[in-house]
Structures are given as C-alpha cells and as structure tokens.
Amino acid sequence: MGAPHPTPPATAPTQPAAAKRVPTPNLIATILGANQKTSDLIFSPGRPPQAKANGQLVPFNIQGVGMLTPDDTAQIAADLIGKNALAWQKLKEEGSCDISYSLPKVARFRVNVFTQRGTCAIVMRVIPSSVPSFAELNLPPQLADAGDLRNGIVLVTGPTGSGKSSTLAAILNKINEEKAYHIITIEDPIEFLHLHKRGTVHQRELHSDTPSFAMALRAALRQAPEVILVGEMRDKETIEVALEAADTGHLVFSTLHTTDAAKTVERIVGVFPLSDQTAVRNRLAKAFRYIISQRLVPRRDGSGRLAVFEILKSTMRTREYIERGEAEGRSLLDAMRDGDSEGMQYFDGELEKAVRAGAITMDAGLSYSTNPGNLQLQLADFLESQPAENEAEIVR
C-alpha cells in the first residue's frame, strides 16, 4: 500500500505514559459501562475515543486518555489483533482486516482495523452476549415462518448497522431450539455464539476456518446440514453455490447490503453477465422464499431506533415478476402493497403506520422512505389534522 502499518505487538509503537494507565480492555469496558446502548466504538487519530449509541456518535472524555495519537491507535490495533498472523498480513497487503474480539464477562465485538492517511483507525461493533429473541427485536411475527421452511433461500438486507445479523441470529436460534437440525454458519467474523440446543450448530470463521465463503459453502454441501447461514453473498461464485444449495434441498440464509427487496433482486441478477441473467432469474424465482429488508429509524421520543421491515414473500405473483422482470403495474412493490394478507409489507406503508402511531416524526419517515413524495401524499390527511405540530415538516 505504501503507507506505514501497525506492527505486531513485539515491535508496536510505545504508548505515551498517560495512555499506559488505561489498557485497551479497560478503555473498552469503561466506554461500554457508560452507555448500555452503545453499538459501535471508534478509535481514530486526532479524536478522543468515540461511541455510537442510537445512531449518534459521541466523544468520551476518559481520565488518562485524551486526544488519540497515531501511536495510540496503532497500539490499540496491536492489542486487538494480538498474534493473529493472517490478520496482520491482510492489514499489510490490503489495508484492512476483520477480526472478532472478546472481552470476558463484558461483550464480544466484530472489529475492522484499517489504515487511513498513513495511520491506523479501528471500528468495533458490539455483539450482545446472548442471542436476541423475536420479542426483544420486535420482529414481525410472520418472520417466524422462515424458521419452518424446509429449503430455499432467505435473504436479510439493509445498510451496515441496520440489524441484519441480529435478525438472522434470532431466526437461527428459533430453529436451533425447535428442530433437531444440523446447522452450519460461515461468517466473517463469527458474531453471535450459538450453543447446541435441540439442533447441532457448527460455526466457521472466514480466514481462520476457511479461505472463502464459496469454498466453505461448497464443503457444507458434503457436511449433511439442513440449514446453512452464509454471512454475506459477496460475489458471483458464492451466489451460484447458494442457489445450488437451495436447489438440492437445503435452507440457506444470507445477507446483502441492498436497500430494499427490488434492489436485492437487481443486485443478484446484475452480478452475472447478460447471457446468464435469464437463467439466474429463473433459478432465483424458484429458490427464494423471503427477502427481508430493514432500516433503523430514530424514535420520536429519542429513546432509541425503531426497526422497520419490508417483506417480500415467494408467491406465484412475485416469482413471475422476478422471472420475467418488472414492468409498469407489475412490480415487486405492487405485489408487496397488495400482499398484506399473505404476510408481505413494504417500507413506506410501515413508515406511514409508524408516523400515524406517533412512534417516529414525519421528517424521519420521509428521510427513510423509498419514495418520499408518495409517503407525503399518503399522509396528507394526517398532516392536515395536525397543522401546528407538523408545520415545519409540511414546508419540507
């Protein structure tokens, strides 16, 4: 890369005397102890330690730790990576690495260490110590049906930090509690730890247990699983093997960084050359069971964020639209709008309900909507009934 990288612990830069009084584990524990809703920790040169809670980034003034220097962040990175030679190699060759980190009796983390402007920065995603339940996440009740499927593909999509991993963990935990299945997960890195319950769970971590998602997924087909979780469909090969696994009777769960159900289909099909896209549409139409997209919207009362879900379910109509492509009056959004009785829902419809219920503001609803103009029209009567409260939002 040409820029300096953090070095292994044996030769790591020396921390300033003040920073030595706060070892990395103590620093992390202090930040987490200050706010139980912390979702991410960020260590960046030129800034104090920062934490993100309810989507807001706030600095922490901790005694003994001031503005972080490049040496500070390099030492924190060295403490987190430890003796993981593969992570050091990736950091040196690719400029970033993903690792898991555990602070006993405190929390587990998904960590990304990366270089920027020749220095090191760290982002740590907090992973709850226990697998969340459907009730804790307030998941739509129809998602419980995903755990009763025998085969096919279930995709959970959304931007980074929208709660995809938590949703999948809750569904997987339900399967683990209720069915005597062999479950294999392939993750980068392993996030929630699943204990053997009624099912048997084997969790494989990218780079330490397997070199790639696609290779581990191919191997999984020979390991007699009923359920396979692939952390992310990153490339054409992984998508191909996931479709093959679904075709051969396995239930496959995975994620994609897409904003809604329709864009998820476009993303999958678009990975393939034009000559293959018709065949891929046919296979995806037959294989998919659910596409679940989610967004986290700030609550009106400031108490946190509300998870809003879009759910596309496999029906004769949705399979036809995926196979033949969307057109005017025959879009996946139309199918979701009309599919309430079949367990489907769409973002703007759910945002409208949340605004009317007072859970989120009109401004937040418009900011997170798929089509703000349409949502504003849907809420016209609501705005008229509350002119004083929503005056600024009507102007917007």
Break the chain into its structural domains and give their ranges.
9-127, 134-345
pLDDT at 385: 79
Alpha-carbon gap, residue 95 to 90, rounded angstroms: 7
Listed in sequence order, the residues at least 6 apart from 132 whose beta carbon sits closer than 8 Å to its beta carbon are: 166, 169, 170
The pTM of the full predicted model, rounded to 2 decimals, is 0.83
Count other C-beta atoms under 10 Å from residue 94's C-beta: 11
Alpha-carbon gap, residue 184 to 76, rounded angstroms: 32
pLDDT at 355: 96
User: The domain 134-345 belongs to what CATH superfamily?
Assistant: P-loop containing nucleotide triphosphate hydrolases (3.40.50.300)
Q: Report how many helices (DSSP H) and strands (DSSP E) the chain contains, helices first.
A: 17, 13
Distance of CA 341 to the CA centre of its chain: 28
- Contacts of residues 99-108 at CB distance under 8 Å and 24 or more positions apart, as own/partner, are 99/189, 100/189, 100/190, 100/191, 100/205, 103/25, 103/28, 103/29, 106/28, 106/29, 106/32, 107/32, 108/191, 108/193
Alpha-carbon gap, residue 191 to 194, rounded angstroms: 9
State the pairing for strand pair 305-313/227-230.
Answer: unpaired
Please give the CATH topology (third level) of the domain spanning 9-127: Beta-Lactamase (3.30.450)
pLDDT at 388: 52
pLDDT at 152: 97
What's the 3-state SS for 52-102?
EECCEEEECCECCECCCCHHHHHHHHHHHHCCCHHHHHHHHHHCEEEEEEE
pLDDT at 13: 39
- Do the domains at 9-127 and 134-345 have one common CATH topology? no
pLDDT at 18: 38
233, 152 Cβ separation under 8 angstroms: no
pLDDT tens, per residue, the chain with 396 residues? 444 444 444 333 344 433 345 899 999 999 988 887 889 999 999 999 999 988 889 998 887 788 999 999 999 999 999 999 989 999 999 999 999 899 887 888 999 999 999 999 999 999 887 899 998 999 999 999 999 999 999 999 999 889 999 999 999 999 999 999 999 999 988 889 999 999 999 999 988 899 899 999 999 999 999 999 999 998 999 999 999 999 999 999 999 999 999 999 999 999 999 999 999 999 999 999 999 999 999 999 988 899 999 999 999 999 999 999 998 889 999 999 999 999 999 999 999 999 999 999 999 999 999 999 999 999 998 888 775 544 444 444
pLDDT at 34: 83
149, 251 Cβ separation under 8 angstroms: yes
CA angle 215, 216, 222 (to 5 degrees): 100
pLDDT at 377: 94
Written as six digits, the tokens of 98 are 């993903």
Listed in sequence order, the residues at least 6 apart from 300 whose beta carbon sits closer than 8 Å to its beta carbon are: 358, 359, 360, 361, 364
Q: Is 323 helix (H, G, I), strand (E, B) or coil?
A: helix
